[in-house]
Amino acid sequence: MHASTVQGPLDPTLIQFITSQLSIQVAACSDAGEPTLVRAHGARVSADGCQLTLMIPSSQARELLACIAANGRIAAVFNEPETHRTVQLKGKDARIEAISADDAAALGAYVDRLAKRLQHYQVPEAFSRAFYAADPADLVALSFSPSAAYGQTPGPHAGEPLKPGSTP
């Protein structure tokens, strides 16, 4: 499988997609090759388009945070539930940071939008709110420079490198 190398800033279409309050899961692995994952609660991209930041509940991600601290390797999958459009971004330089006041403030909008998206599958709002509930004091930020992107929308082309400028 060939990696789609991302050099420099992310494509604006891709930025727009991954920051549109999607379902996000983040994975890392230990130096012994043990993978782990957690759900993220929001994403933002730096003004220059080169840094992606994900909000993670630290209480749910003890092992993942240890992996990131050890080797910085990260993978994050973004899925739009109602369309199944999915993309995965990977990086090698992830680091743990404190969230900003803006990140904490964005949490409410993130949960509202996802609850709406999941209504497409008759998921009750109370469920979505419990599922995406997070205490801002528990959140940490993981920032990295995406170095590879893959389309993962279900189908025979899932897993192929995302072509620059294309939408997932």
Nearer to other proteins, 12 or 84 (CB): 84
Closest distance between other proteins and the C-beta of residue 95, in Å? Answer: 15
Residues forming contacts to other proteins in the complex (CB under 8 A) are: 1, 25-29, 31, 33-39, 57, 59-60, 71, 73-77, 79, 84, 86, 88, 90, 121, 123, 126-127, 130-131, 133, 150, 152, 154-156, 158-159
Nearer to other proteins, 12 or 95 (CB): 95
Closest distance between other proteins and the C-beta of residue 116, in Å? Answer: 16
**Cα-based distances in Å from 121 to 18, 24, 128, 163:** 21, 17, 11, 30
- The structure tokens 């920051």 sit at 19
Closest distance between other proteins and the C-beta of residue 127, in Å? Answer: 6
Closest distance between other proteins and the C-beta of residue 117, in Å? Answer: 13
Instruction: Please state the three-class secondary structure of the chain as a single string.
Output: CCCCECCCCCCHHHHHHHCCCCEEEEEEECCCCCEEEEEECCEEECCCCCCEEEEEEHHHCHHHHHHHHHHCCEEEEEECCCCCCEEEEEECCCEEEECCHHHHHHHHHHHHHHHHHHHHHCCCHHHHHHHCCCCHHHEEEEEECCCEEEECCCCCCCCCECCCCCCC
Nearer to other proteins, 47 or 156 (CB): 156
Nearer to other proteins, 98 or 130 (CB): 130
Closest distance between other proteins and the C-beta of residue 12, in Å? Answer: 24
Nearer to other proteins, 28 or 43 (CB): 28
